[in-house]
Structure 1
Amino acid sequence: MTDVIGEILPLALGVAISPIPVIAAILMLLSPKAKGTSLGFLVGWVLGIVVAVVLFTLLSSVLPQDGADESQPIAGTIKIVLGVLLLLLAVKQWRSRPTGDEEAALPKWMAAIDTMTAGRALVLGFLLSGLNPKNLLMGAAAGVVIGSAGLSAGQSAGAILVYTAIAASTVAIPVIAYLAASARMAAPLRALHTWLVHNNATVMAVLLLVIGVAVIGKGIGSF
Protein backbone atom coordinates (compact mmCIF):
# COMPACT_ATOMS: atom_id res chain seq x y z
CA MET A 1 0.00 0.00 0.00
CA THR A 2 2.92 2.35 0.66
CA ASP A 3 3.85 2.18 -3.04
CA VAL A 4 0.31 3.25 -3.96
CA ILE A 5 0.40 6.14 -1.47
CA GLY A 6 3.73 7.27 -2.91
CA GLU A 7 2.32 7.19 -6.43
CA ILE A 8 -0.86 9.13 -5.67
CA LEU A 9 0.80 11.82 -3.52
CA PRO A 10 1.95 13.94 -6.52
CA LEU A 11 -1.52 13.63 -8.03
CA ALA A 12 -3.16 14.80 -4.80
CA LEU A 13 -0.72 17.72 -4.65
CA GLY A 14 -1.66 18.53 -8.24
CA VAL A 15 -5.26 19.02 -7.14
CA ALA A 16 -4.25 20.82 -3.93
CA ILE A 17 -2.02 23.36 -5.70
CA SER A 18 -4.86 24.70 -7.82
CA PRO A 19 -4.91 28.52 -7.58
CA ILE A 20 -8.43 29.09 -8.94
CA PRO A 21 -10.37 27.24 -6.19
CA VAL A 22 -8.11 28.75 -3.53
CA ILE A 23 -8.78 32.21 -4.97
CA ALA A 24 -12.52 31.43 -4.97
CA ALA A 25 -12.37 30.29 -1.34
CA ILE A 26 -10.49 33.46 -0.34
CA LEU A 27 -13.02 35.68 -2.09
CA MET A 28 -15.82 33.87 -0.26
CA LEU A 29 -14.04 34.36 3.06
CA LEU A 30 -13.83 38.09 2.34
CA SER A 31 -17.48 38.31 1.24
CA PRO A 32 -20.49 39.34 3.39
CA LYS A 33 -21.66 35.70 3.65
CA ALA A 34 -18.21 34.31 4.48
CA LYS A 35 -19.23 31.46 6.80
CA GLY A 36 -22.04 29.92 4.77
CA THR A 37 -20.47 30.20 1.32
CA SER A 38 -16.99 29.07 2.38
CA LEU A 39 -18.29 26.01 4.22
CA GLY A 40 -20.59 25.15 1.31
CA PHE A 41 -17.70 25.51 -1.12
CA LEU A 42 -15.46 23.30 1.04
CA VAL A 43 -18.11 20.55 1.26
CA GLY A 44 -18.61 20.63 -2.51
CA TRP A 45 -14.85 20.63 -3.12
CA VAL A 46 -14.32 17.54 -0.95
CA LEU A 47 -17.35 15.76 -2.41
CA GLY A 48 -16.15 16.31 -5.98
CA ILE A 49 -12.70 14.93 -5.18
CA VAL A 50 -14.15 11.84 -3.51
CA VAL A 51 -16.64 11.10 -6.30
CA ALA A 52 -13.98 11.35 -9.03
CA VAL A 53 -11.36 9.15 -7.37
CA VAL A 54 -13.89 6.56 -6.16
CA LEU A 55 -15.48 6.32 -9.61
CA PHE A 56 -12.17 5.69 -11.38
CA THR A 57 -11.01 3.34 -8.63
CA LEU A 58 -14.11 1.20 -9.15
CA LEU A 59 -13.70 1.28 -12.94
CA SER A 60 -10.01 0.36 -12.72
CA SER A 61 -10.67 -2.49 -10.30
CA VAL A 62 -12.40 -4.44 -13.09
CA LEU A 63 -9.28 -4.38 -15.28
CA PRO A 64 -7.45 -7.73 -15.59
CA GLN A 65 -5.22 -8.13 -12.50
CA ASP A 66 -1.73 -9.50 -13.04
CA GLY A 67 0.85 -10.53 -10.49
CA ALA A 68 2.80 -7.87 -8.65
CA ASP A 69 5.90 -8.48 -10.80
CA GLU A 70 4.06 -8.84 -14.09
CA SER A 71 3.36 -6.16 -16.66
CA GLN A 72 0.05 -4.29 -16.67
CA PRO A 73 -0.27 -3.04 -20.26
CA ILE A 74 -3.86 -1.80 -19.96
CA ALA A 75 -3.24 0.24 -16.82
CA GLY A 76 0.08 1.42 -18.28
CA THR A 77 -1.58 2.62 -21.48
CA ILE A 78 -4.23 4.50 -19.52
CA LYS A 79 -1.54 6.21 -17.43
CA ILE A 80 0.39 7.25 -20.54
CA VAL A 81 -2.72 8.72 -22.14
CA LEU A 82 -3.57 10.61 -18.94
CA GLY A 83 0.02 11.87 -18.72
CA VAL A 84 -0.06 13.17 -22.30
CA LEU A 85 -3.34 14.98 -21.59
CA LEU A 86 -1.76 16.59 -18.53
CA LEU A 87 1.16 17.78 -20.69
CA LEU A 88 -1.28 19.31 -23.17
CA LEU A 89 -2.99 21.14 -20.31
CA ALA A 90 0.44 22.36 -19.15
CA VAL A 91 1.09 23.88 -22.58
CA LYS A 92 -2.33 25.54 -22.56
CA GLN A 93 -1.73 27.01 -19.09
CA TRP A 94 1.72 28.30 -20.05
CA ARG A 95 0.37 30.08 -23.12
CA SER A 96 -2.36 31.75 -21.05
CA ARG A 97 0.01 33.22 -18.45
CA PRO A 98 0.09 37.05 -18.17
CA THR A 99 3.25 38.84 -19.28
CA GLY A 100 4.73 41.96 -17.73
CA ASP A 101 2.08 44.13 -16.07
CA GLU A 102 -0.76 42.41 -17.88
CA GLU A 103 -3.69 41.51 -15.62
CA ALA A 104 -4.45 37.82 -15.31
CA ALA A 105 -7.84 36.78 -16.69
CA LEU A 106 -10.11 35.23 -14.07
CA PRO A 107 -13.41 33.36 -14.57
CA LYS A 108 -16.41 35.67 -14.87
CA TRP A 109 -18.33 33.76 -12.19
CA MET A 110 -15.96 35.14 -9.55
CA ALA A 111 -17.69 38.51 -9.85
CA ALA A 112 -20.86 36.94 -8.40
CA ILE A 113 -19.22 35.48 -5.29
CA ASP A 114 -20.40 38.32 -3.01
CA THR A 115 -24.04 37.41 -3.71
CA MET A 116 -23.56 33.65 -3.80
CA THR A 117 -25.57 31.39 -1.46
CA ALA A 118 -24.18 28.40 0.43
CA GLY A 119 -26.00 26.01 -1.91
CA ARG A 120 -24.55 27.61 -5.04
CA ALA A 121 -21.12 27.62 -3.41
CA LEU A 122 -21.44 23.88 -2.77
CA VAL A 123 -22.32 23.22 -6.42
CA LEU A 124 -19.44 25.42 -7.55
CA GLY A 125 -17.00 23.55 -5.31
CA PHE A 126 -18.19 20.22 -6.69
CA LEU A 127 -17.87 21.36 -10.30
CA LEU A 128 -14.37 22.80 -9.77
CA SER A 129 -13.07 19.65 -8.08
CA GLY A 130 -14.98 16.84 -9.73
CA LEU A 131 -15.60 18.06 -13.28
CA ASN A 132 -12.67 20.42 -13.89
CA PRO A 133 -10.59 18.74 -16.68
CA LYS A 134 -7.28 19.01 -14.81
CA ASN A 135 -8.65 17.70 -11.51
CA LEU A 136 -10.63 15.01 -13.30
CA LEU A 137 -7.42 13.76 -14.96
CA MET A 138 -5.68 13.74 -11.57
CA GLY A 139 -8.58 11.82 -10.04
CA ALA A 140 -8.61 9.40 -12.95
CA ALA A 141 -4.87 8.77 -12.63
CA ALA A 142 -5.17 8.25 -8.87
CA GLY A 143 -8.13 5.93 -9.36
CA VAL A 144 -6.21 3.85 -11.89
CA VAL A 145 -3.30 3.54 -9.46
CA ILE A 146 -5.53 2.50 -6.56
CA GLY A 147 -7.92 0.29 -8.52
CA SER A 148 -5.22 -1.62 -10.40
CA ALA A 149 -3.02 -2.26 -7.35
CA GLY A 150 -5.00 -5.24 -6.08
CA LEU A 151 -5.63 -3.69 -2.66
CA SER A 152 -8.27 -4.82 -0.20
CA ALA A 153 -11.38 -2.70 0.26
CA GLY A 154 -9.99 -1.24 3.49
CA GLN A 155 -6.64 -0.41 1.92
CA SER A 156 -8.32 1.22 -1.07
CA ALA A 157 -10.49 3.30 1.28
CA GLY A 158 -7.37 4.35 3.18
CA ALA A 159 -5.60 5.39 -0.01
CA ILE A 160 -8.67 7.37 -1.14
CA LEU A 161 -8.80 9.06 2.27
CA VAL A 162 -5.14 10.10 2.03
CA TYR A 163 -5.63 11.39 -1.52
CA THR A 164 -8.73 13.36 -0.54
CA ALA A 165 -7.18 14.87 2.59
CA ILE A 166 -4.15 16.17 0.70
CA ALA A 167 -6.10 17.28 -2.38
CA ALA A 168 -8.62 19.24 -0.27
CA SER A 169 -6.10 20.71 2.18
CA THR A 170 -5.39 24.02 0.42
CA VAL A 171 -9.07 24.93 0.42
CA ALA A 172 -9.77 23.47 3.88
CA ILE A 173 -6.88 25.17 5.70
CA PRO A 174 -7.75 28.82 4.87
CA VAL A 175 -11.46 28.20 5.49
CA ILE A 176 -10.86 26.62 8.89
CA ALA A 177 -8.21 29.19 9.84
CA TYR A 178 -10.43 32.12 8.87
CA LEU A 179 -13.43 30.80 10.75
CA ALA A 180 -11.23 30.31 13.81
CA ALA A 181 -9.54 33.74 13.66
CA SER A 182 -11.21 35.91 11.04
CA ALA A 183 -9.72 39.24 12.16
CA ARG A 184 -6.14 38.01 11.95
CA MET A 185 -6.54 36.17 8.64
CA ALA A 186 -8.06 38.95 6.50
CA ALA A 187 -4.78 40.69 5.55
CA PRO A 188 -2.78 37.48 4.82
CA LEU A 189 -5.65 36.18 2.68
CA ARG A 190 -5.73 39.37 0.61
CA ALA A 191 -1.97 39.15 0.04
CA LEU A 192 -2.24 35.48 -0.96
CA HIS A 193 -5.12 36.30 -3.30
CA THR A 194 -3.04 38.94 -5.11
CA TRP A 195 -0.09 36.57 -5.58
CA LEU A 196 -2.24 33.66 -6.78
CA VAL A 197 -4.11 35.80 -9.30
CA HIS A 198 -0.88 36.90 -11.00
CA ASN A 199 0.91 33.52 -10.86
CA ASN A 200 -2.01 31.14 -11.43
CA ALA A 201 -1.16 30.04 -14.98
CA THR A 202 2.59 29.72 -14.37
CA VAL A 203 2.14 27.62 -11.22
CA MET A 204 -0.29 25.28 -12.93
CA ALA A 205 1.81 24.93 -16.10
CA VAL A 206 4.91 23.86 -14.16
CA LEU A 207 2.90 21.56 -11.90
CA LEU A 208 1.09 19.86 -14.78
CA LEU A 209 4.36 19.39 -16.66
CA VAL A 210 6.06 17.66 -13.72
CA ILE A 211 3.08 15.44 -12.89
CA GLY A 212 2.39 14.62 -16.55
CA VAL A 213 5.97 13.40 -17.04
CA ALA A 214 5.76 11.39 -13.81
CA VAL A 215 2.48 9.72 -14.85
CA ILE A 216 3.89 8.85 -18.28
CA GLY A 217 6.97 7.38 -16.60
CA LYS A 218 4.80 5.22 -14.34
CA GLY A 219 2.79 4.12 -17.37
CA ILE A 220 5.92 3.08 -19.26
CA GLY A 221 7.09 1.21 -16.18
CA SER A 222 3.86 -0.83 -16.18
CA PHE A 223 4.79 -2.65 -19.40
Structure 2
Amino acid sequence: MGAAIGDILPLAVGIAISPIPIIAAILMLLSPKARSTSVGFLGGWVLGIAVAATAFTLLSSVLPESDEDAANPVTAVIQLVLGAGLLFLALRQWRSRPAPGVEPPLPKWMAGIDTMTAGRALGLGFLLAAVNPKNLLLGAAAGVAVGSAGLDPGAIVVVLLVFTVIAAASVALPVIAYLVASDRMAAPLERLRAWLVHNNATVMAVLLLVIGAVLIGKGIGNF
Protein backbone atom coordinates (compact mmCIF):
# COMPACT_ATOMS: atom_id res chain seq x y z
CA MET A 1 0.00 0.00 0.00
CA GLY A 2 2.89 2.34 0.76
CA ALA A 3 4.20 2.07 -2.80
CA ALA A 4 0.76 2.86 -4.23
CA ILE A 5 0.45 5.94 -2.01
CA GLY A 6 3.88 7.03 -3.16
CA ASP A 7 2.77 6.67 -6.78
CA ILE A 8 -0.41 8.70 -6.37
CA LEU A 9 1.04 11.52 -4.24
CA PRO A 10 2.44 13.63 -7.12
CA LEU A 11 -0.76 13.04 -9.11
CA ALA A 12 -2.88 14.25 -6.19
CA VAL A 13 -0.66 17.31 -5.81
CA GLY A 14 -1.07 17.93 -9.54
CA ILE A 15 -4.84 18.19 -9.07
CA ALA A 16 -4.49 20.21 -5.87
CA ILE A 17 -2.26 22.83 -7.49
CA SER A 18 -4.89 23.81 -10.03
CA PRO A 19 -5.25 27.61 -9.96
CA ILE A 20 -8.62 27.84 -11.74
CA PRO A 21 -10.71 25.95 -9.11
CA ILE A 22 -8.85 27.76 -6.32
CA ILE A 23 -9.63 31.10 -7.97
CA ALA A 24 -13.28 30.04 -8.37
CA ALA A 25 -13.47 29.08 -4.68
CA ILE A 26 -11.93 32.41 -3.64
CA LEU A 27 -14.36 34.38 -5.83
CA MET A 28 -17.23 32.49 -4.17
CA LEU A 29 -15.81 33.33 -0.75
CA LEU A 30 -15.77 37.01 -1.74
CA SER A 31 -19.33 36.86 -3.12
CA PRO A 32 -22.62 37.73 -1.32
CA LYS A 33 -23.50 34.01 -0.96
CA ALA A 34 -20.06 33.03 0.27
CA ARG A 35 -20.96 30.27 2.71
CA SER A 36 -23.52 28.35 0.67
CA THR A 37 -21.75 28.52 -2.69
CA SER A 38 -18.27 27.77 -1.35
CA VAL A 39 -19.48 24.74 0.62
CA GLY A 40 -21.42 23.50 -2.43
CA PHE A 41 -18.39 24.00 -4.66
CA LEU A 42 -16.14 22.14 -2.21
CA GLY A 43 -18.62 19.26 -2.05
CA GLY A 44 -18.71 18.98 -5.84
CA TRP A 45 -14.91 19.21 -6.06
CA VAL A 46 -14.40 16.38 -3.55
CA LEU A 47 -17.09 14.24 -5.17
CA GLY A 48 -15.66 14.75 -8.66
CA ILE A 49 -12.15 13.76 -7.57
CA ALA A 50 -13.39 10.67 -5.74
CA VAL A 51 -15.65 9.53 -8.59
CA ALA A 52 -12.99 9.97 -11.28
CA ALA A 53 -10.27 8.20 -9.29
CA THR A 54 -12.60 5.35 -8.33
CA ALA A 55 -13.87 4.90 -11.89
CA PHE A 56 -10.37 4.67 -13.34
CA THR A 57 -9.31 2.30 -10.56
CA LEU A 58 -12.19 -0.02 -11.43
CA LEU A 59 -11.38 0.21 -15.13
CA SER A 60 -7.72 -0.59 -14.50
CA SER A 61 -8.73 -3.79 -12.69
CA VAL A 62 -9.36 -5.40 -16.10
CA LEU A 63 -5.69 -5.02 -17.01
CA PRO A 64 -3.78 -8.32 -17.05
CA GLU A 65 -1.92 -9.03 -13.82
CA SER A 66 1.82 -9.55 -13.81
CA ASP A 67 4.56 -10.31 -11.32
CA GLU A 68 6.01 -7.34 -9.47
CA ASP A 69 9.38 -7.64 -11.24
CA ALA A 70 7.98 -8.64 -14.64
CA ALA A 71 7.38 -6.32 -17.56
CA ASN A 72 3.85 -4.95 -17.91
CA PRO A 73 3.52 -3.59 -21.46
CA VAL A 74 -0.19 -2.72 -21.19
CA THR A 75 0.34 -0.54 -18.13
CA ALA A 76 3.49 0.87 -19.75
CA VAL A 77 1.63 1.98 -22.87
CA ILE A 78 -1.13 3.60 -20.80
CA GLN A 79 1.41 5.48 -18.70
CA LEU A 80 3.28 6.64 -21.81
CA VAL A 81 0.07 7.89 -23.42
CA LEU A 82 -1.02 9.69 -20.23
CA GLY A 83 2.45 11.19 -19.82
CA ALA A 84 2.47 12.41 -23.42
CA GLY A 85 -0.97 13.94 -22.89
CA LEU A 86 0.27 15.85 -19.84
CA LEU A 87 3.31 17.10 -21.76
CA PHE A 88 0.99 18.35 -24.51
CA LEU A 89 -1.13 20.20 -21.94
CA ALA A 90 2.05 21.62 -20.38
CA LEU A 91 3.06 23.04 -23.76
CA ARG A 92 -0.38 24.60 -24.24
CA GLN A 93 -0.26 26.16 -20.80
CA TRP A 94 3.23 27.57 -21.40
CA ARG A 95 2.18 29.13 -24.70
CA SER A 96 -0.89 30.70 -23.04
CA ARG A 97 1.20 32.72 -20.57
CA PRO A 98 0.21 36.41 -20.60
CA ALA A 99 2.72 39.04 -21.68
CA PRO A 100 4.31 41.08 -18.87
CA GLY A 101 1.89 43.71 -17.61
CA VAL A 102 -1.10 42.17 -19.39
CA GLU A 103 -4.11 41.11 -17.33
CA PRO A 104 -4.80 37.47 -18.24
CA PRO A 105 -8.40 36.66 -19.19
CA LEU A 106 -10.46 34.45 -16.89
CA PRO A 107 -13.11 31.93 -17.99
CA LYS A 108 -16.39 33.66 -18.87
CA TRP A 109 -18.36 31.52 -16.40
CA MET A 110 -16.57 33.22 -13.50
CA ALA A 111 -18.55 36.39 -14.22
CA GLY A 112 -21.69 34.67 -12.89
CA ILE A 113 -20.24 33.50 -9.59
CA ASP A 114 -21.88 36.33 -7.59
CA THR A 115 -25.35 35.07 -8.56
CA MET A 116 -24.55 31.37 -8.42
CA THR A 117 -26.62 29.05 -6.21
CA ALA A 118 -25.22 26.31 -4.00
CA GLY A 119 -26.55 23.64 -6.37
CA ARG A 120 -24.88 25.20 -9.40
CA ALA A 121 -21.68 25.62 -7.41
CA LEU A 122 -21.75 21.91 -6.57
CA GLY A 123 -22.19 21.02 -10.22
CA LEU A 124 -19.40 23.36 -11.24
CA GLY A 125 -17.04 21.83 -8.66
CA PHE A 126 -17.84 18.34 -9.92
CA LEU A 127 -17.23 19.29 -13.56
CA LEU A 128 -13.93 21.02 -12.82
CA ALA A 129 -12.74 18.00 -10.85
CA ALA A 130 -14.00 15.12 -12.98
CA VAL A 131 -14.31 16.44 -16.54
CA ASN A 132 -11.38 18.85 -16.84
CA PRO A 133 -8.87 17.23 -19.28
CA LYS A 134 -5.90 17.72 -16.96
CA ASN A 135 -7.69 16.18 -14.00
CA LEU A 136 -8.96 13.33 -16.16
CA LEU A 137 -5.41 12.45 -17.17
CA LEU A 138 -4.16 12.69 -13.58
CA GLY A 139 -7.14 10.70 -12.28
CA ALA A 140 -6.57 8.06 -14.94
CA ALA A 141 -2.91 7.81 -13.98
CA ALA A 142 -3.86 7.45 -10.32
CA GLY A 143 -6.43 4.77 -11.17
CA VAL A 144 -3.86 2.80 -13.15
CA ALA A 145 -1.37 3.08 -10.27
CA VAL A 146 -3.91 1.88 -7.69
CA GLY A 147 -5.60 -0.74 -9.84
CA SER A 148 -2.34 -2.34 -10.91
CA ALA A 149 -0.84 -2.43 -7.41
CA GLY A 150 -2.51 -5.73 -6.45
CA LEU A 151 -4.11 -4.29 -3.30
CA ASP A 152 -7.04 -5.75 -1.37
CA PRO A 153 -10.31 -3.75 -1.33
CA GLY A 154 -9.64 -2.20 2.07
CA ALA A 155 -6.22 -0.93 1.02
CA ILE A 156 -7.65 0.44 -2.23
CA VAL A 157 -10.21 2.46 -0.26
CA VAL A 158 -7.46 3.88 1.97
CA VAL A 159 -5.26 4.86 -0.99
CA LEU A 160 -8.18 6.49 -2.81
CA LEU A 161 -9.12 8.34 0.37
CA VAL A 162 -5.57 9.67 0.71
CA PHE A 163 -5.61 10.70 -2.96
CA THR A 164 -8.94 12.52 -2.59
CA VAL A 165 -7.97 14.35 0.61
CA ILE A 166 -4.68 15.62 -0.84
CA ALA A 167 -6.18 16.55 -4.22
CA ALA A 168 -9.06 18.46 -2.58
CA ALA A 169 -6.94 20.21 0.07
CA SER A 170 -6.17 23.35 -1.95
CA VAL A 171 -9.88 24.16 -2.28
CA ALA A 172 -10.84 22.87 1.16
CA LEU A 173 -8.29 24.93 3.11
CA PRO A 174 -9.46 28.43 2.04
CA VAL A 175 -13.11 27.43 2.43
CA ILE A 176 -12.56 26.07 5.94
CA ALA A 177 -10.39 29.07 6.88
CA TYR A 178 -13.12 31.43 5.72
CA LEU A 179 -15.82 29.59 7.63
CA VAL A 180 -13.70 29.75 10.79
CA ALA A 181 -12.48 33.36 10.49
CA SER A 182 -14.31 35.14 7.68
CA ASP A 183 -13.50 38.67 8.89
CA ARG A 184 -9.74 38.14 8.67
CA MET A 185 -9.63 36.15 5.43
CA ALA A 186 -10.92 38.63 2.84
CA ALA A 187 -7.64 40.49 2.25
CA PRO A 188 -5.36 37.38 2.14
CA LEU A 189 -7.78 35.62 -0.21
CA GLU A 190 -7.82 38.59 -2.57
CA ARG A 191 -4.00 38.68 -2.66
CA LEU A 192 -3.89 34.93 -3.33
CA ARG A 193 -6.47 35.28 -6.10
CA ALA A 194 -4.47 38.03 -7.81
CA TRP A 195 -1.26 35.98 -7.66
CA LEU A 196 -2.94 32.86 -9.05
CA VAL A 197 -4.55 34.79 -11.91
CA HIS A 198 -1.18 36.11 -13.07
CA ASN A 199 0.76 32.88 -12.57
CA ASN A 200 -1.84 30.26 -13.51
CA ALA A 201 -0.31 29.23 -16.86
CA THR A 202 3.27 29.11 -15.60
CA VAL A 203 2.44 27.08 -12.50
CA MET A 204 0.43 24.52 -14.44
CA ALA A 205 2.95 24.25 -17.28
CA VAL A 206 5.81 23.42 -14.92
CA LEU A 207 3.69 21.03 -12.86
CA LEU A 208 2.34 19.14 -15.87
CA LEU A 209 5.81 18.93 -17.38
CA VAL A 210 7.22 17.30 -14.24
CA ILE A 211 4.34 14.85 -13.76
CA GLY A 212 4.25 13.98 -17.46
CA ALA A 213 7.97 13.23 -17.41
CA VAL A 214 7.53 11.04 -14.31
CA LEU A 215 4.74 9.05 -15.97
CA ILE A 216 6.78 8.54 -19.13
CA GLY A 217 9.68 7.35 -16.99
CA LYS A 218 7.43 4.86 -15.20
CA GLY A 219 6.04 3.70 -18.53
CA ILE A 220 9.54 3.06 -19.92
CA GLY A 221 10.40 1.18 -16.73
CA ASN A 222 7.39 -1.13 -17.15
CA PHE A 223 8.51 -2.44 -20.55
Q: TM-score if structure 1 supplies the norm length?
A: 0.99
Q: Give how far 1:131 is off.
A: 0.2
Question: Considering only aligned residues, what root-mean-square deviation do their CA atoms show, in Å?
Answer: 0.5
Q: What SS class does the counterpart of residue 97 from structure 1 fall into?
A: coil
Q: Give how far 1:62 is off.
A: 1.2
- For residues 71-121 of structure 1, the C-alpha deviation after alignment (integer angstroms, 9 at most, x for no partner) is 111011100000000000000000001111111111000000000000000
The one-letter amino acid paired with 1:167 is A
Pairing of 1:1-223 with structure 2 (within 5 A)? 1-223=1-223
The one-letter amino acid paired with 1:82 is L
Q: Give how far 1:155 is off.
A: 0.7
The one-letter amino acid paired with 1:8 is I
Q: Give how far 1:203 is off.
A: 0.3
Report the count of equivalent residues: 223
Give me the whole-angstrom Cα distance separating, in 2, the residues matched to 1:34 and 1:157.
32
Q: Which range is displaced more, 122-131 or 65-74?
A: 65-74
Contact 1:49-1:129 within 8 A present in 2 as well: yes
Contact 1:98-1:104 within 8 A present in 2 as well: yes
Contact 1:61-1:150 within 8 A present in 2 as well: no
Give me the whole-angstrom Cα distance separating, in 1, the residues matched to 2:105 and 2:138.
24
Contact 1:44-1:125 within 8 A present in 2 as well: yes
Q: What SS class does the counterpart of residue 25 from structure 2 fall into?
A: helix
Q: Give how far 1:222 is off.
A: 1.1
Give me the whole-angstrom Cα distance separating, in 2, the residues matched to 1:19 and 1:151.
33
Give me the whole-angstrom Cα distance separating, in 2, the residues matched to 1:106 and 1:148.
38
The one-letter amino acid paired with 1:104 is P
The one-letter amino acid paired with 2:6 is G
Give me the whole-angstrom Cα distance separating, in 1, the residues matched to 2:32 and 2:163.
32
Contact 1:44-1:122 within 8 A present in 2 as well: yes
- For residues 124-175 of structure 1, the C-alpha deviation after alignment (integer angstroms, 9 at most, x for no partner) is 0000000000001000000000001111001111110010000000000000
Give me the whole-angstrom Cα distance separating, in 1, the residues matched to 2:83 and 2:105.
26
The one-letter amino acid paired with 2:18 is S
Q: Give how far 1:69 is off.
A: 1.2
Give me the whole-angstrom Cα distance separating, in 2, the residues matched to 1:133 and 1:106.
17
Q: Give how far 1:60 is off.
A: 0.4
Contact 1:87-1:209 within 8 A present in 2 as well: yes
Contact 1:50-1:164 within 8 A present in 2 as well: yes
Give me the whole-angstrom Cα distance separating, in 2, the residues matched to 1:216 and 1:8.
15
Give me the whole-angstrom Cα distance separating, in 2, the residues matched to 1:201 and 1:170.
17
Moved over 6 A (4+): none
Q: Give how far 1:70 is off.
A: 1.0
For structure 2, the 5+ residue unaligned runs are: none
Q: Percent identity?
A: 69
Give me the whole-angstrom Cα distance separating, in 2, the residues matched to 1:2 and 1:105.
41
Contact 1:57-1:143 within 8 A present in 2 as well: yes
